[in-house]
Structure formats: C-alpha cells, structure tokens
Structure 1
C-alpha cells in the first residue's frame, strides 16, 4: 500500500482551520501571549493561515 501525500491532510484529519488554529493557540501559548518556542507574539489567524 502506498500512502498519498497531501499538503492539507492535517485539517482533514482533525477538523477545520478554525479548530486547527485553536489547537495552535492552546499548545503554543506560554501563558503570556507568546509562542513558547520563539518568545514571539502568537500569530494572528491570518498570519497562522499564511505560515
């Protein structure tokens, strides 16, 4: 069996973009409104979609 690649598989597997963004916010927030890995402010929905 060969797996098919798709750039949008995550959204199809877990939900819509709004749900994915909420997962990003919940997982990346350091409690101060910044991404815990970079220390930069969390991305807006539009920035997140473009990334």
Structure 2
C-alpha cells in the first residue's frame, strides 16, 4: 500500500515565514504600482483584511 503525504493547512506560512512576511510577499507581488491588486483592480487588502481572506 502506497502512503500519500498531505500538506498541513499551515504549510505555506511555515515554509515562507511568518504571517507578516507572507503579507509582505502579497504586497510586493500583487501591487500594480498604484496600490491596487493586479488581479482584481481593487485596493490592496489591509493586513487584517488579508488575514481574514
């Protein structure tokens, strides 16, 4: 029988760093240069909004 590894729910944060570091990645990757999210055109989420999303 083959065993399958499943990632934990917190996998990304553990591998990329803290929530603060992960939020900084979001800001640097999603920012269109005018403070809007490149995928939605909406203003970038605040840290609290990002945590809840």
Structure 1 length as normaliser, TM-score? 0.92
Spell out structure 1 runs of 4+ moving beyond 4 A.
none
Greater radius of gyration (CA) = 2
Q: Where does structure 2 lack aligned partners over 5 or more consecutive residues?
A: none
Q: Where does structure 1 lack aligned partners over 5 or more consecutive residues?
A: none
- Count matched residues: 51
Give the Cα–Cα distance (whole angstroms) in 2 for the partners of residues 26 and 14 of structure 1. Answer: 14
Q: Please, what is the CA RMSD of the aligned residues?
A: 0.9
